[in-house]
Amino acid sequence: MMQSSFDQETSRRLHVAIVMDGNGRWAEARGLPRLAGHRRGVRAARRIVEAAPGLGIGTLTLFAFSSDNWKRPRPEVDGLMALLGSFLRREAAALATHDVRLSLIGRRDRLPLPLRAAATRAENETAGARGLHLRLAVDYSARDMILRAARRRVSGSVPSETFAARLGQAYGGAGAPDVDLLIRAGGEQRLSDFLLWESAYAELRFVARMWPDFAPADLAAALDDFHARDRRFGALPLAVSTPSTRSR
């Protein structure tokens, strides 16, 4: 399939994905309600969105609400839904002004109607932006998305490459390239069902800092570390794979 010039341009820039963990512990450590931590988490996210384009990031995917987060107490879930809705309503115009295109990824059918409406409006309002693709993962489970895509696509026999390409399309991801760097704040070291398909060769970085304290300097440090890594995608390093330099 032909790539548009926007797709080509986007794929030259990095896709960074972030698990914004630690809001609750940040708040509890200060004797505040957990929702106060989430509110500070939104502020941290805003700072990171502003810094991202200047750091060579073309796609930024933020894990805002996992499908397993429905298991949390009702007031926290309601508070998070309200926070996400007000973020989308308040920030859509500013995102468009800053050339940020917003997409929601994940299931929409279980979201409160006002949040769904705010998401669609923000997506429409920012559809023409090209500076950064901001993807908010809400009611998101990578495993569920893969299963649903497979269920839609398993029909007849097609060559495995075609199947993989179709599955990738059905899986969606709002036209995003694979993840280059996946960062998790808050000190835990796990993926929690986030972007399992497109993180096949992502570099991972786990940061002890709680998300509300995560700053653009932390993102810049993560990118410095990323650029120093040797990404081989399963192949050998160039010097080793060249026959003339291979030892016998």
Interface with ligand FPP includes 38 (CB under 6 A)?
yes
Which is nearest to 24 in space by CA: 138, 140, 185?
Answer: 185
Instruction: State the Cα–Cα distance between residues 83 and 88, nearest whole angstrom.
Output: 9
- Kindly list the distances between the CA atom of residue 12 and the CA atoms of 6, 16, 130, in Å, as whole numbers in the listed order: 10, 13, 13
Active site (annotated) includes residue 7: no
Among 23, 103, 126, 199, binds ligand FPP (CB under 6 A): 23
Residue in the structure block whose two tokens are 């429409």? 124
Active site residue 68: no
Q: Name which position in 10, 15, 17, 22 contacts ligand FPP (CB under 6 A).
A: 22
Q: Is 25 in the site for ligand FPP (CB under 6 A)?
A: yes
Closer CB to ligand FPP, residue 30 or residue 152?
A: 30
Residues 150-179 that bind ligand FPP (CB under 6 A): none
221: left (phi over 0), alpha (psi -120 to 50) or beta: alpha
21 binds ligand FPP (CB under 6 A): yes
Q: Which residue in 11, 69, 169, 192 binds ligand FPP (CB under 6 A)?
A: 69
Cβ proximity to ligand FPP: between 58 and 79 the closer is 79
* E strand intervals along 118-194: 132-140, 181-184
Give the phi and the psi of residue 138 in degrees, each rounded to 5: -130, 135
How long is the chain? Answer: 248
**Is 42 a binder of ligand FPP (CB under 6 A)?**
yes
Nearer to ligand FPP, 122 or 145 (CB): 122
Number of other CB atoms surrounding residue 220 within 10 Å: 13
Is residue 20 a contact point for ligand FPP (CB under 6 A)? yes
Q: Which residues belong to the active site?
A: 21, 69
